[in-house]
């Protein structure tokens, strides 16, 4: 596997979104080090979206982030999905290929949502089996992201982070640690987000996500419609102390700001990392 040029420890990036295409096609100097592309937006296209992604790739490292693998689905992955994702990955040479630790429905009725799994041995075995198929088909390791959730299952026999770590170890895959999702789930389910962040082994973490949630009053909703909130930034500071090399990404999917607004969040993440690792006396 080729290594993407420009990949370096602790870099900060943003999600590539179509509203910023016109600006980015001017090849401006930016403060971001890399981009993350939603796999499904490009793997089924031979048109303009792919053309733009390949142009971006000329100047930046790129990670591919999927939303439809349904790695926890009992029906198993769809071969066609892997064929197309493999084709895209071979063209883009991403430094990380990731998806979510969840299921997204059934083949005959995809609900296109990140539905939580119960934290059980059967779920771990199912995910591990599907990851093996995926990694074999893709020829590279996957990273799985912890999702925000709004319910928990009575049959769960471990904490969310124990489940995440067990999956990564059993499946021999890596973790995309979404700090915002950890915070949202912690608030929704009444555990300490700090325990979650502290428990995840550094060697398993391929990447970090930061995003914004919406406070719905009765629960926190992972909307990616705003900047990370102060408690999420504090949690990120805690995470980055142990994970100085992990690439960090700002995710923003709704009410997306202009480029400067998005870029400012990446700069903020970089500054926090710098404060923790370069400005503090040893």
Partner 1 sequence: MSSSPLERLQRRFVRSVTFAADADLIAAVTGGGRLSAAEAIGVYRDAYPARLTEALGETYEACWRVMGDEEFFAAARDFIARAPSRSYNLSDYGESFPEFLEARPQAQGAPFLGDLARLEWAFLRLFHARAQEGLEPAALAAAAGPQSILRLGAACVLLSFKHSIYGIWKRDRADDTPLESGDWEGAQRLVLYKRGTNEIFTRELSVPEYAALTALAAGRPLGAALEYSGLDEEGARGLFAFVADARLVAEVVPEGHGSR
Residue 236's CB is within 10 A of a number of other CB atoms, namely 26
Burial of 254 (0-12, 13-18, 19+ CB in 10 A): exposed
Told to check if 218 binds partner 1 by CB under 8 A, we report yes
Q: What CA–CA distance (Å, rounded) separates 263 from 257?
A: 9
Told to check if 229 binds partner 1 by CB under 8 A, we report no
Burial of 84 (0-12, 13-18, 19+ CB in 10 A): middle
Distances (CA, A) of 256 to 53, 196, 253, 282: 19, 28, 6, 38
Q: What CA–CA distance (Å, rounded) separates 63 from 69?
A: 16
Cβ pair 39, 70 in contact under 8 A: no
Site string for partner 1, 98-137 (x = CB under 8 A): -----xxxxxxxxxxx-x-xx-x-xx--x-----------
| Phi, psi torsion values for 137, nearest 5 degrees | -70, -35
Told to check if 159 binds partner 1 by CB under 8 A, we report no
Of 179 and 205, the one with the shorter C-beta distance to partner 1 is 179
Segment lying near partner 1 (by CB under 8 A), choices 128-136, 170-178, 187-195, 236-244: 187-195
Segment lying near partner 1 (by CB under 8 A), choices 172-180, 195-203, 214-222, 274-282: 214-222
Of 126 and 265, the one with the shorter C-beta distance to partner 1 is 126
Nearest approach, Cβ of 63 to partner 1 (angstroms)?
A: 19
Of 55 and 140, the one with the shorter C-beta distance to partner 1 is 55
Among 191, 221, 226, 229, binds partner 1 (CB under 8 A): 221
Nearest approach, Cβ of 7 to partner 1 (angstroms)?
A: 28
Told to check if 1 binds partner 1 by CB under 8 A, we report no
Told to check if 68 binds partner 1 by CB under 8 A, we report yes
Residue ranges of alpha helices (H) inside 2-112 are 21-24, 40-43, 48-59, 79-92
Nearest approach, Cβ of 76 to partner 1 (angstroms)?
A: 12
Told to check if 47 binds partner 1 by CB under 8 A, we report yes
Pairing of strands 214-215, 220-221: antiparallel
| # binding residues, partner 1 (CB under 8 A) | 50
Residue 234's CB is within 10 A of a number of other CB atoms, namely 16
Cβ pair 209, 251 in contact under 8 A: yes
Told to check if 255 binds partner 1 by CB under 8 A, we report no
Nearest approach, Cβ of 142 to partner 1 (angstroms)?
A: 16
Among 8, 9, 27, 48, binds partner 1 (CB under 8 A): 48
Told to check if 151 binds partner 1 by CB under 8 A, we report yes
CA torsion through residues 201, 10, 124, 120, sign: positive
Cβ pair 159, 119 in contact under 8 A: yes
Point out which residues bind partner 1 (CB under 8 A). 40-41, 44-49, 51, 68, 70, 73-74, 78, 81, 103-113, 115, 117-118, 120, 122-123, 126, 149-155, 185, 187-189, 216-221
């Amino acid at each position: 596997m080729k290594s993407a040029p420009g990949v370096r420890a602790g870099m900060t990036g943003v999600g590539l979104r179509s509203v910023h295409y016109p600006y980015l096609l001017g090849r401006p100097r930016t403060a971001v080090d890399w981009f993350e592309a939603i796999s499904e937006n490009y793997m089924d296209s031979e048109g303009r979206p792919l053309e733009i992604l390949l142009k971006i790739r000329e100047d930046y490292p790129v990670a591919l982030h999927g939303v439809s693998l349904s790695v926890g689905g009992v029906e198993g992955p769809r071969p066609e999905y892997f064929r197309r994702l493999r084709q895209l990955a071979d063209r883009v040479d991403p430094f990380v290929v990731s998806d979510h630790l969840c299921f997204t429905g059934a083949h005959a009725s995809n609900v296109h949502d990140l539905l939580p799994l119960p934290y059980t041995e059967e779920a771990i075995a199912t995910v591990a089996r599907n990851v093996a198929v995926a990694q074999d088909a893709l020829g590279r390791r996957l990273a799985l992201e912890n999702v925000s959730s709004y319910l928990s299952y009575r049959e769960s026999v471990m904490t969310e982070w124990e489940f995440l770590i067990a999956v990564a170890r059993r499946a021999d895959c890596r973790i995309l640690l979404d700090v915002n999702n950890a915070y949202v789930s912690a608030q929704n389910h009444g555990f300490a987000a700090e325990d979650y962040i502290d428990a995840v082994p550094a060697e398993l973490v391929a990447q970090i996500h930061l995003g914004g949630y919406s406070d719905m009053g009765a629960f926190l909703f992972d909307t990616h419609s705003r900047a990370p909130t102060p408690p999420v930034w504090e949690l990120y500071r805690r995470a980055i102390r142990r994970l100085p090399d992990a690439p960090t990404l700002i995710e923003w999917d709704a009410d997306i700001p202009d480029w400067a607004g998005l870029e400012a969040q990446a700069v903020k993440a970089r500054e926090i990392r710098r404060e923790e690792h370069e400005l503090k006396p040893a």
